[in-house]
Structure 1
Amino acid sequence: MGIRSAAWVDGLLELVGHAHVPGRSADRLGTARTLITLHRPGRRRLTVLRTTPRYLPEITDELAEGGLNLDWAGFAVRIDPALLRRGGHWEDGVWRIGGLLLDGLRPWPGDFTAHWCGSGEYPPAAWVAEGVQAIPYFRGGQLCLRVETARARVSATRTVGDSIELACLSSRRAEGATVRLNHRQSPAVIALPVLPGPGRSLTVRIPLGAFELSGRPEPDPAETAHWDPVLHYPDGRTEPLVLDHPSGGLAAQFALPAPGRTLRLKHLADSHLQLCEQRCVPVADTVAAIPEGFLLTGHFPQPGAGPHELVLRHGGGLDEQSIGVEPLAGGRFQARLPITAPTSYGGRLPLRKGVWDVLIRPAGDPGGEQPVALAPDVLHVLPLAAEARGKRVLLQRRWHDTLIVDSTPVLPAAERSAHRQLGLRSQSYPAARVEPLREAVLYDVFGGRGYADSPRAVHAELARRASGLRHLWTVDDAQAELPDGVEAVTVWSAEWYEALATCRYLVGNTHFPEFVRRRDGQVLLQTWHGTPLKRIAHDVATGWLDGDGYLRRLAQEVPQWSLLLSPNSFSTPILRRAFRYDGEILESGYPRNDLLARPDAALAAAVRRRLGIPEGRRVVLYAPTWREDARSGDGYRLDLRLDPQAARRALGADHVLLVRPHSHVLQRCPGRGDGFLYDVGDYPDTAELLLIADVLVTDYSSVMFDFANTGRPMLFFTHDLAHYRDDLRGFYFDFEAEAPGPLLATSGQLIDALGRVDALADEHADRYAAFRERYCHLDDGRAAGRVVDALLEHR
C-alpha cells in the first residue's frame, strides 16, 4: 500500500493512495472494501475508517504487473484529527495509520509506504488547535500521525550585531532556562542563555561565531552541519523549538565568519526549527508557470558574488543544460526554468523523460553547485504543471523541500500500465487485424528515435512519387521533428497498435515487436541498419545479446518479415544466417547512402549552418559504437576515451570535433558548446553528418561502410580491439588487415594522426579502394528507388 499525496482540506487530513494485494486485481478486490485503521500502540482503542474508491491513472504503471487491472486500486480518505482527542482534550502521542483490505471474508492488513516525491513522501503538518499540531510522517516503513503540543514557538528573527535573535513564546516562564544546540553529526553542544521577556515571551541570542568554538569536528566546506535547538528548563523538562503558526516559514540565512558559509534557519516537515551551517543555499519562495516553463524567484544572498547559472541535470546522467540567473536587489534572484532543451541543430525539444535536478552555481564552476530549496510557503503550490508538445512536465519536490523537475512520459500512465498494454496487445491488436488494410505506411527508426536512416529515404522516395499513401512515424518521448505530411504515432499507444495492425506497409530499420503478425496483403520491410563488421544475432557466441531474451524474441519476429534489405553481396549470406531468415532478400544497397553517393552541396552547407560550424573549419566526426558490457540505466555508458582538451590544443582553431555516440548511448558529451566540441548525438540523421565530415573517426561502427562512399579519410580508434573482437562480439572479417585507415590504440596516437591525416590517407589508399569496391559496389544513389519499386510490387 502506498500514499500518493497528503493534504489538509477543511481541517481534515486527506490521504490519497493505493492498496494492492499481489495476484489480486482491483476490480475483484473492490476498493470500496478498503479500510483505514487508526490506533495508538499500547492502547486497545482501534478506529476503522471507510475509504472512497478513487481512479488514479498515474499509479497503474507502477502496480499493474502481470496484466492485473488496477484502475480502481486507488482510494481517498479524510481523517478528522478530533478522533485523536481523549475526553475532549488533545493528548500528545503517536497514532499508527494502517490499511485493511477485505477480499471476501479474508482481511489483508498492511502498512503504507511513502511515494517517491511530493506530499506523499513528506506529508504536511497542520495546526489543529492553538499550539497543537497534527504531524503525519513515515517511520520504519509505517505511516504515523503524531499529536504534538508546541510549548516553545519561534515567531520572528532579527540580526543584532554579530548575533541573531530568535523571538519565542513559551508555555511556561523561562527563568533559568537555556537553549542547547545539539550537533547531529557529533556530541558537540552549544549552550545559550535564555533572556526572559514579558509574560511567557523569551529571546534566544545566537552568536554567529559560536559554531567555530563549539568543539564539533571541522566541517568540510561543501558539507552541511545540522543543529537541533532544544529549550531546557531548570526542572529538567525539554521542548523542541517549533516555528509559530502565524509566522509561516522563517527562511533566512546569515553570513558566518567562515568564508562562504551561512547559517540557515530551516523549516522541517514537522515545523521544527533546524539550524544548518552550510554554504549559501538558493531558496525559491515564488514559483509560477509561464509559457516556456516555470518562473522561479527567491533569495540567494552572496555579496560580491559574480554571475550565476541555473542548471538542469538529468538524474540518469543523460543531459545537462544551464540557464542564466538574473540577480535582483537585496540578494534575490529570478530564473526562467525551461521545459524544452536546445538541440545541436538549432531547435528545441521537450525535456527527456525522467527526473531533473535543479541547481544553481557560479557561472562556469561545476564544483560550486547547490540544489534549489523551497520556502515553506510554496510547498503547497506543488506539483505545478506545464506542457510542451503534448508532454507534461511537473515542477515537484523531493526530500521535503528540494526542487526537482519531473518530465513525465508522453503516454499517460494508464496507457502504459501492464494491464492496459496486455489488453491492447491481446485484444485491441487482434481485433484491428480484421479491419480493412489502410493505404498507409508506418515507419520506425530505432523504436521511435526520429526521422532518419533508410526509412527516411524510403519515405522521401514515396513522397516524391506522390504515391497517395498516408505516412505515419513512430515517435518515443516526443523526441523527434517530422516533416510536413508525416504524422507522429507514439510508441505503445492505442494508435500505434492500430497502425501495426492496419497499415499496408511497415518499414523499420531495427526490430518490430515480437507480437506483430503480418497479415495477408501487408508488407513488412526490414531495412536493417548497417553492413556487419561485428557479429550479430545468432552469430554472436559470447552470450551478450541474449541476456534479456533477445534471441527468443528475434525468432518470433523474423518470420514476419516480407523483405530484408542487404547493402552488398558480402552482407547477404551473413544476414540470412545470423537472422535465420529464409524469406526474400533484396540486395539493393542502402537507401540512406544515396545521399553520400550523390552528394548535395547545398544540403551540406545547410547542415553546417544548422550546427553553427564556422566557415573554413575542418570537420572531424567521431562516431563510436556501443559496448554491451557498459550498461547505464535505459541505455549504455558514454566512454569516449578521446581527450577533447588535448585535441583542441593540437588541432587549433581550424578544426571542429563532432561527437556522435551510437543511438543506444543517451548520455550527452561533457564540455560541448565551446566552439570546438559539438555533441551531435541528437542530430536526426547520421547520413547528413557523414555528408559534412572531412574526416571520420570510429571504432567498429558500420558508419565506416557508409562513409567509404565519400572517399574521405578514416581513422579507427580501437583502444579495446582484443576485448571487443575476442570477448564481446567478434568480427566477420580480418579487420586489422582490411581497415581502410590506421588502427590507433590511444588518444595521443589518434590526435597525432588527425594532424597528419592526409599523409595517412595516401598510405592506405589501396586498402581504401579495395574496401570501397567490396562493400559499396551497390551504392549508386538509386537504392531508394529500387527499394520502393520492390515494396510496391510486393503486396
Structure 2
Amino acid sequence: MNSAWQSVLGDSMIGDSVRRLFGKSKKLSKAISRGRQAPAGPKHVTENTDGPTGPERDRAENAVQAIAGVRADLRYTSWTSDGLIIAGWITAAGKKRQVPRGFELLAKPAPGEPAIGPENWLRLESVTTSAEHLDINGFVRSNDDLSKATFTVLLPYNAWDILSADDVQIAIEQPHNSQLTPLTHRYRWGSPGHLVAEIDRPYRYAPRWDNSQGLCISRSQPTAFVSGTPEIGDDLRVKVQTAHGFVPIAAHFRHDVGGAAIPIRLESTTDGANLSVSLDALPLDTGVWGITLSDATGNRRLLHWADDRWERMPVAPATYLEQRPGGAIRLIRGDLPPVASEVRFSEDQLTVCLHEKSADAVDVLIMRGPRATLQAELQPSGEYVFGLDFDFWGTRAPTPPAGGYRLFARSRDGAEHPLRLTKALSSMTPFIERTPLATFRVEHAPDNQLYVDVGAPLLAVEKGLFNRKRLAALHTGNGQAGSDFDLRGVFLESWYGKTFSDNPAPMVTALRGAGVPGPYYVAIADWSVAFPPETHPVIIGSEEYWRVLGSSRVVVFNTWLPSEYRKRTDQFIVQTWHGTPLKSLGMDVPRRIGSETAAKNLGKGSAMWDLLVSQSTYATEIFRRAYVYSGEVAEVGYPRNDVLNGAGLQQLRQQVRKRLGLSDEAQVILYAPTWRQEDKGSIGPLDVTALLELLPGKYHIAVRGHSVTLRRGSNLSGERIVDVTSYPEPAELMAMSDLLVTDYSSIMFDYAASGRPILYYTPDYEEYVDLGRGAYFDLKSAAPGPLTSTPEALAQAILTAPQSVDTDAYRAWQEKFVPSDDGHAAERLGQLIADRLSAQDG
C-alpha cells in the first residue's frame, strides 16, 4: 500500500451518511478521514462547459483499454459525506460470464492528466453491504455463482489530492495478470443513468460516463455560489459568494436556446453580490434560463448551488428555480413537475410521498402498467397510498400483475404528468423491497420518470440460471436428496405460470373425479394469478416450486418443462400441449430440418413425457415427427374446450359478458391473432378502431393477444373495444362471443367446436406463411370461413355471417381437427391417467 493511501486511513468509523445509507450494522472495511487539501492551481467552471478548464500543460496519456472477454458493469452510485459509493460487478470469459480470479478497483488519473506510477494509484476500499441491487445472479445468465463478482467501494473526497489530478478514472485490476480495464457498461436506469454532481465547497465533483473510458469524475472550483436559500417576496433575492478574485459587475438570465439575456439587478458585497429581480420582470419565454455573472473584462460564470439542498423552488406562476444535476442553478418557465420524495412498501400497500411543493396541485397518483392501472388519493397523513389488491376479471388478487409500472400525477384540472424523483430519491435507485407477496424494484427511468417493477417474491438465492440448476439438482431426479420417499400429489402448470388455464385447468376436477389422490399444486408466476380453491399455489422458481415439481406423482403441463428439471423414474408426465398446429413446429421449422442438435434437444424434452394429449390424428402425426416423440398419445380432445359443449354454456356466456361489461344483446367479435416474431407485443395487423367504424353500433370487439404478448404488450382501449389478452381462460371468451376473427392462430381449430362463424384477416398471408415458419396445409383452400385482406372486406364478411355454420367445408374442418371436442375430453383424460397410474402400481 502506498504512503499516500496510508495517510488517509484511520482508526475511526467513516461518516454518518454511509451508516445511514447502509444501516447501522454496515461498516466500511477500513475507516477513511477526509483530510482535504486545496490544489495549487485550482480550475474554474465557466459557462457552457461540462468539465474543468485552465491553462494547457503537457500531459501524458493514461488510457486504460477494455480487455476482450472482460465486462465491468456500473450498477449504482451515491454521494455520501465521505465520497462517492460505486457498486457493480465484473465478469470474465466473455459470454460465459464467469467470476474473475480476483480483482481490485482503483482510482487513477484520467487520460489527459499528468501520469503517475501505478504504485501511487489509489486502491479503493470495500464497503460491506447486502444491497439487493447487486443481485447479479438474477440479472446475468451464467452457469456459475456470480455473487463474488460484485463490488461496492468508496471513492473518498481526497482522492484527487492523493493522485494530484483534477480528473480521475475508475479502473479494475486483475492482480494475477496485472491487466487493467475501465468500467465497460453502465445501467441506463437508476443512479448510474442519472449521474449528478456534488457540491462540497469549495469544490464541485462531477461524474461522467465515457464510452471508452467508463466512469470518470472531475473536481473543479466553481467561481460563484448561492449563499443560503433564495428569498421570494415581491422580488426574487439571491445572495452570491464568489472566489478566485472574480468581481461581478452584471448578472443575467440567459436562455439555453438562442442565448436571449434578461438583466438582473446586482449589488456588490465584500464577498460577492446580492441579486434581485422583480417577479414582474422575470423572463416570459418558456424554457430553461441559466443565471450568469460577468466581470469587467466580459468573463462570464454560471451561478452554482452550494451547501443548502433544495429541489425545485416555485418563484411565480409557472416559474421555478431548479438545481441542475451538474451543479448550476436555472430558472424554468413552465409548470412545476410533480416530484416524489419517498416510496415505501408494506404487504398490501405502496406509499408515495410527494415533495412539499408538488402536493398541493396533485389530485390522484396513477400507477400504470401494460395490463393493470392502480390509483391512489391523498390521505390525511399527507401521503398517497396504493392498495395493492387488484380486481382481476372479477377475482380479487393480492398484488397487481408482474411487470413495469410508470407513475403519473393527475392534477386537479384533470391533466396527467409523469411523476419525477427528487435527487435524494434518485440517488437511492435502483433499490429493492421484498414483501411476502411481491418483490418491488424502484427505478429512475431514462426519461426521468418514477418506475416500479413488480415481480414474484423470489429470494436472491432462487433467481437466475445458476440457482435454477442448483435447486433442480437438489430437488428433482433420481439423485435428489431424500429421493427414497414416495411420490405423492399432482403438479399442474400452464403458460409458465402467467395464467392457470388452458388444458391443465379442467384437469383438477377431472383427476379428482377419477380418484387420483392429492395434494394438488398449481404453479403461478406471481400472486396476481388466480388458482382453483383447494389447490396449493407455488411460485415458479422458488425452492418450494422445485421441491413440489420433483416430488409430485403426476405432472401436467401445456408448454415445456424447465430444461434443468430431471424426471424421477416413477413420475407420470402428461403433456397436454396448447393447440393443433397450422404453423410448422419443432423439427418441421425450416431452419431445424436435418439438424441433429435440434433433434437431440427436442427429443431430450419429449423423452420425459408419458402421455401426449392430441385433438386429432392430424395433430398426432405432426407432434410425433416435430417433437421426436414415440410414446403414448391420447386422442381424447382438448379439455379446455369442454365448456363449448357443456350444459351450462348459456349461463357461462352471460356470466362472462357481465364480467367484461358486455350486454347480452351485443354482437361480440373475438379478435384473436397469433404473435409476430418481429413484434412480440403486437396484437396483429388489424386496425380494430377502423373496423368498428364500418360496423353498426351493436358490434363490439374483444381483443385477445397471443400469450406471448401478455407481458410484452399493453391493453388496447377505445369505444366498443375490450382488451381480454389477460383474461385467464380463452375457452370462456369463445363461449361468450358470436364469431371469431383470427389469422394463423390455433384458436381457429378450437372455435370450430362451437359451430359459430370463423373469419380470417390475413393481409400478410404470403409473407407470414411463405417467408416465415411455413404452414402444414393451404389455409386458403381449406378454411371454414373467408380470408380477407382489407377492413372493408372483413366488415362485409362480418355483416353477412350467420349465427351458426352448417356448410360442408365447416363440417369437414370439425371432423378433421376437433372430432373429440364434445364436452367430455377432461373426463376421458382423467380416467386414462388414473388407469395408467394403477397399471404402474401393479
Q: TM-score range by the shorter chain?
A: 0.7 to 0.9
The gaps in structure 2 that reach 5 residues or longer are 1-71
Higher share in strand:
1
Q: Give 1:249's match in structure 2, choosing from 283, 288, 311.
A: 311
Where 1:459 maps in the other structure, the secondary structure is: helix
Q: Which whole-Å deviations, capped at 9, do the CAs of 1:487-537 have from their partners, x for residues lacking one?
A: 233334433333443322221112223454443222111111223333333
Change in 2 beyond 3 A, CA 1:348/1:92: same
Kept after mapping to 1: 8 A contact 2:338/2:359: no
User: C-alpha displacement at 1:438, in angstroms?
Assistant: 1.7
Kept after mapping to 1: 8 A contact 2:692/2:699: no
Q: Give 1:195's match in structure 2, choosing from 266, 287, 293.
A: 266
Letter in 1 for 2:462: E
Kept after mapping to 1: 8 A contact 2:350/2:385: yes
Query: Is 1:660 the counterpart of 2:707 in the alignment?
Result: no
Change in 2 beyond 3 A, CA 1:470/1:171: same
Kept after mapping to 2: 8 A contact 1:717/1:743: yes
Change in 2 beyond 3 A, CA 1:623/1:552: farther
Q: Partners of 2:195 and 2:152 in 1: how far apart?
A: 15
Q: Partners of 2:613 and 2:529 in 1: how far apart?
A: 25
Q: Partners of 1:572 and 1:783 in 2: how far apart?
A: 16
- Aligned pairs for 1:23-34 (under 5 A) are 29-30=101-102, 34=104
Kept after mapping to 1: 8 A contact 2:76/2:430: no
Query: Is 1:793 the counterpart of 2:841 in the alignment?
Result: no
Query: Is 1:16 the counterpart of 2:87 in the alignment?
Result: yes
Where 2:745 maps in the other structure, the secondary structure is: coil
Letter in 2 for 1:266: E
Q: Give 1:102's match in structure 2, choosing from 168, 175, 179.
A: 175
Kept after mapping to 2: 8 A contact 1:243/1:271: yes
Q: Partners of 1:489 and 1:566 in 2: how far apart?
A: 27
Change in 2 beyond 3 A, CA 1:744/1:20: closer
Q: Partners of 1:547 and 1:272 in 2: how far apart?
A: 62
Alignment match, 2:614 = 566
User: C-alpha displacement at 1:263, in angstroms?
Assistant: 4.4
Q: Partners of 1:267 and 1:5 in 2: how far apart?
A: 22
User: C-alpha displacement at 1:245, in angstroms?
Assistant: 1.4
Alignment match, 2:216 = 144
Q: Which whole-Å deviations, capped at 9, do the CAs of 1:365-420 have from their partners, x for residues lacking one?
A: 9xx76432223454456566555762212333245964222334543444333333
Where 1:567 maps in the other structure, the secondary structure is: coil
Query: Is 1:780 the counterpart of 2:822 in the alignment?
Result: yes
Q: Which whole-Å deviations, capped at 9, do the CAs of 1:328-383 have from their partners, x for residues lacking one?
A: 9xxxx975556566534454474555543333467999xx7643222345445656
Alignment match, 1:284 = 340
Q: Give 1:476's match in structure 2, choosing from 508, 525, 529.
A: 525
User: C-alpha displacement at 1:680, in angstroms?
Assistant: 0.9
Alignment match, 2:190 = 118
Q: Partners of 1:744 and 1:400 in 2: how far apart?
A: 41
Q: Give 1:707's match in structure 2, choosing from 737, 742, 751.
A: 751
Alignment match, 2:4 = none
Alignment match, 1:46 = 121
Q: Partners of 1:178 and 1:453 in 2: how far apart?
A: 74
Q: Partners of 1:451 and 1:364 in 2: how far apart?
A: 41
Letter in 2 for 1:149: Q
Alignment match, 2:742 = 698
Q: Which region of structure 1 is more displaced relative to structure 2, 43-52 or 747-756?
A: 43-52
Alignment match, 2:588 = 539
User: C-alpha displacement at 1:195, in angstroms?
Assistant: 1.0
Q: Partners of 1:538 and 1:363 in 2: how far apart?
A: 59
Letter in 1 for 2:191: S
Change in 2 beyond 3 A, CA 1:147/1:339: farther
Once the two structures are aligned, what percentage of the paired residues are identical?
23
Alignment match, 2:670 = 621
User: C-alpha displacement at 1:180, in angstroms?
Assistant: 5.0
Where 1:564 maps in the other structure, the secondary structure is: strand
Alignment match, 2:798 = 754
Q: Partners of 1:127 and 1:374 in 2: how far apart?
A: 19
Alignment match, 2:688 = 643
- Aligned pairs for 1:339-350 (under 5 A) are 342-345=391-394, 347-348=396-397, 350=399
Q: Which whole-Å deviations, capped at 9, do the CAs of 1:623-664 have from their partners, x for residues lacking one?
A: 222233x333xxx42225133354167331x44321111111
User: C-alpha displacement at 1:49, in angstroms?
Assistant: 3.4
User: C-alpha displacement at 1:209, in angstroms?
Assistant: 7.6
Kept after mapping to 2: 8 A contact 1:432/1:502: no
RMSD: 4.1
Q: Partners of 1:272 and 1:313 in 2: how far apart?
A: 33
Q: Partners of 1:395 and 1:471 in 2: how far apart?
A: 35
Q: Which region of structure 1 is more displaced relative to structure 2, 50-59 or 716-725?
A: 50-59
Q: Partners of 2:173 and 2:776 in 1: how far apart?
A: 61
Alignment match, 2:658 = 609
Alignment match, 1:521 = 570
Where 1:606 maps in the other structure, the secondary structure is: helix
Q: Which whole-Å deviations, capped at 9, do the CAs of 1:46-80 have from their partners, x for residues lacking one?
A: 33334356666633237755423321222333343
Q: Partners of 1:377 and 1:64 in 2: how far apart?
A: 28
Alignment match, 2:546 = 497
Alignment match, 1:405 = 452
Alignment match, 2:644 = 596
Q: Which whole-Å deviations, capped at 9, do the CAs of 1:112-141 have from their partners, x for residues lacking one?
A: 75433333444565554x544444443454
Alignment match, 1:220 = none
Alignment match, 2:250 = 178
Q: Which region of structure 1 is more displaced relative to structure 2, 319-328 or 517-526?
A: 319-328
Q: Partners of 1:191 and 1:4 in 2: how far apart?
A: 41
Alignment match, 1:771 = 813
Where 1:453 maps in the other structure, the secondary structure is: coil
Q: Partners of 1:204 and 1:364 in 2: how far apart?
A: 33
Where 1:274 maps in the other structure, the secondary structure is: strand
Q: Give 1:234's match in structure 2, choosing from 266, 284, 296.
A: 296
Change in 2 beyond 3 A, CA 1:205/1:338: farther
Change in 2 beyond 3 A, CA 1:596/1:288: same
Change in 2 beyond 3 A, CA 1:642/1:263: same
Letter in 2 for 1:281: P
Letter in 1 for 2:422: A
- Aligned pairs for 1:101-500 (under 5 A) are 101-103=174-176, 106-111=178-183, 113-122=185-194, 125-126=197-198, 128=200, 130-140=201-211, 141-154=213-226, 155-157=228-230, 165-171=237-243, 177-181=249-253, 183-185=255-257, 188-190=259-261, 192-199=263-270, 200-205=272-277, 225-246=287-308, 248-252=310-314, 254-255=316-317, 262-278=318-334, 280-285=336-341, 287-289=343-345, 291-298=348-355, 310-312=365-367, 314=369, 318-319=370-371, 321=373, 323=375, 336=385, 342-345=391-394, 347-348=396-397, 350-360=399-409, 370-376=417-423, 378-379=425-426, 390-398=437-445, 402-408=449-455, 410-425=457-472, 429-430=476-477, 431-432=479-480, 434-465=483-514, 467-500=516-549
Q: Partners of 2:449 and 2:643 in 1: how far apart?
A: 49
Kept after mapping to 2: 8 A contact 1:564/1:585: yes
Q: Which region of structure 1 is more displaced relative to structure 2, 743-752 or 550-559?
A: 550-559
Q: Partners of 2:530 and 2:616 in 1: how far apart?
A: 31
Letter in 2 for 1:621: L
Alignment match, 2:57 = none
Q: Which whole-Å deviations, capped at 9, do the CAs of 1:187-229 have from their partners, x for residues lacking one?
A: x35263551154433205388888678xxxxxxxxxx854443
Q: Which region of structure 1 is more displaced relative to structure 2, 765-774 or 378-387?
A: 378-387
Kept after mapping to 2: 8 A contact 1:249/1:377: no
Change in 2 beyond 3 A, CA 1:399/1:209: farther
Q: Which whole-Å deviations, capped at 9, do the CAs of 1:596-629 have from their partners, x for residues lacking one?
A: 222414444333333333343333222222233x
Q: Partners of 1:548 and 1:287 in 2: how far apart?
A: 53
Where 2:114 maps in the other structure, the secondary structure is: coil
Where 2:696 maps in the other structure, the secondary structure is: helix
User: C-alpha displacement at 1:679, in angstroms?
Assistant: 0.9
Where 2:529 maps in the other structure, the secondary structure is: coil
Q: Partners of 2:763 and 2:737 in 1: how far apart?
A: 22
Change in 2 beyond 3 A, CA 1:577/1:83: closer
Q: Partners of 1:63 and 1:247 in 2: how far apart?
A: 34
Alignment match, 1:554 = 602
Change in 2 beyond 3 A, CA 1:243/1:545: farther
Q: Which whole-Å deviations, capped at 9, do the CAs of 1:691-722 have from their partners, x for residues lacking one?
A: 22222222232223322222223322233333
Letter in 1 for 2:106: I
Letter in 2 for 1:404: Y
